[in-house]
Structure 1
Amino acid sequence: MQGDASSLIGPGEGPAAVVETPGGGAPVVLVCEHASNHIPAALDGLGLAPAARASHAAWDIGARALARALSARLDAPLVLSRVSRLVYDCNRPPEAPAAMPAQSEAFAVPGNRALTPAQRAARVRAVYRPFRDLLARTLDAKGPCTLVTVHSFTPVYDGVPRAVELGLLHDDDPALAQTMLRAAPAHLQLRTRLNAPYSAADGVTHTLREHATARGLPSVMIEVRNDLLGDAAAIGRIADGLAAMIAACVPAAAGAAGPR
């Protein structure tokens, strides 16, 4: 069952997106588009096996906890999607095939095969628009600020190991990502690369383009390899380093950052 927009997210399952620490004082807005692997009951699990629903295909493992830790350290608002990216990937525009993929790496997604235009539109209304509108309102309320999106990636993709541990991605404006790349060795002993393991050419900077580039705001997309986010202590160490990097590169945030 696909459902229309009104029935797609059932009672007790919503909202599709939330903002945490809305009054945070830092001149930074954090975003985690792939924070949840929740699939609304109306979609019957998209036909996925439990292993697929728990995998990196359904969400960015560890990214929500990392984003929350950064929010606490920076005192920054955090916008979270509460629906799996296999239902709708909030880092993709509605016209992109990857917004509702029928295949994600090794995982087939039966519930996304042969979606009708009406079914796609229902997911846009139920998942993407609430997320997009909440983020827009949060940025408008904050005023001049820096947009930072928080993601994780799998150590092996399509059978190919990834050596990079921390990626810093940018859209049209590379300044913040480049500045953070230079600052990284002082804060985190991780193999750090610019535009890895993805880049704007892969279509992964939609949120940056839609919300930061369009407003003339500095922005960066952070990608952390998910085997480095295996427990609270590991997440805390990486959050400490990333918060210090952000504070060093976004000077007005420096007063708020620090280990918690």
Structure 2
Amino acid sequence: MSDVARIVGEPRFGGILVVCDHGGKSVPDDVDLGIDPALIEQHIGHDIGVAEIAERMASNPGTAAFIANFSRLVVDLNREASDPAALPEESDGRAMPGNRDVDRDARLAAYHAPFHARLEAQLDAAPPALILFLHSFTPAMQTDDTPRPWQCGVLYEGDDRGAMIAKILLEKEGLTVGDQQPYSGAVYNATISRHAEEPGRPYLYLEVRQDLIGDAAGQAEWAECLQRVCNRIAMELM
């Protein structure tokens, strides 16, 4: 269970924990996805920029990061285990032949269940004041080239407290913020449902556009911004 995720920084009671369930890029030696390995470096393989932002944020006292090690093409941790998309057979129009006719239960048992068990244990051991579930999105989909105008988007299911505070703060930073954009947190919500909504933990689920965080300069800028925003949200939700 130790290799499904890595922790950066020191999780603290009353601190901030940044969770990147789509932050990993590794593919286990015994998993053959049947694709060009270069695709792992693209959005279908991982959420570009989020692990680097989380690592930078975790350099601040009181903030830590919990980052998945494996690509979401191995297993999509932000899907329920019962969802066929947890082992995607295609992503943004690209086929994943290695995920067909596999032992689904074994794959989920090896990667999906341990990740969520370890995250739950971490949240119980050092309950944070705020969980930041950090994702990124493409400026446009391969299957639909309509530009996405938002620089970031807040997502939520039932508890919108963190999202609404963040929206105000991010707009004050001069950003164009989507509300439930480019996806809906009421649909893509497996991780927040299990670890935040159901147990009542305060959280912010945020998507950042990848062209803004694809290099070190952008990652540093957003890490600084999100640290300010998360500190403020945590204070207001206390």
Do the structures match in fold with TM over 0.5?
yes
Change (3 A) 1:222 1:105: same
What is the total number of aligned residue pairs between the two structures? 236
- Map residues 112-191 of structure 1 onto 2, 5 A cutoff: 112-115=99-102, 119-143=103-127, 145-157=129-141, 158=143, 159-186=145-172, 188-191=173-176
CA contact (8 A) 2:15 2:62 kept: no
**Residue 102 of structure 1, aligned match among 77, 82, 89:** 89
Change (3 A) 1:220 1:253: closer
- The structure in which a higher percent of residues are helix is 1
Q: Does 1:200 align with 2:188?
A: no
Paired amino acid for 2:25: N
Normalised TM-score (structure 1): 0.84
Deviation at 1:77, TM superposition (A): 2.5
Partners of 2:7 and 2:210 in 1: CA distance: 23
Unmatched 5+ stretches in structure 2? none
CA contact (8 A) 1:101 1:109 kept: yes
**Residue 20 of structure 1, aligned match among 8, 33, 38:** 8
Q: Which segment is superposed worse, 205-214 or 22-31?
A: 22-31
**Residues 142-190 of structure 1 deviation map (CA, whole Å, 9 limit, x = unaligned):** 136322111111111122221111011112101110111011133x332
CA contact (8 A) 2:57 2:64 kept: no
CA contact (8 A) 1:30 1:77 kept: yes
CA contact (8 A) 1:16 1:131 kept: yes
Instruction: Tell which structure's C-alpha radius of gyration is larger.
Output: 1
Change (3 A) 1:226 1:174: same
CA contact (8 A) 1:17 1:130 kept: no
Partners of 2:207 and 2:190 in 1: CA distance: 15
Note the aligned Cα RMSD (angstroms): 2.1
- The percentage of counterpart residues that share the same residue type is 32
Partners of 2:54 and 2:48 in 1: CA distance: 11
Deviation at 1:92, TM superposition (A): 1.0
Partners of 1:94 and 1:234 in 2: CA distance: 34
Normalised TM-score (structure 2): 0.92
Deviation at 1:68, TM superposition (A): 1.3
Paired amino acid for 1:136: E
Q: Does 1:34 align with 2:18?
A: no
Unmatched 5+ stretches in structure 1? 1-8, 255-260
1:257 equivalent in structure 2: none
CA contact (8 A) 1:18 1:134 kept: no
Q: Does 1:47 align with 2:34?
A: yes
Deviation at 1:131, TM superposition (A): 0.8
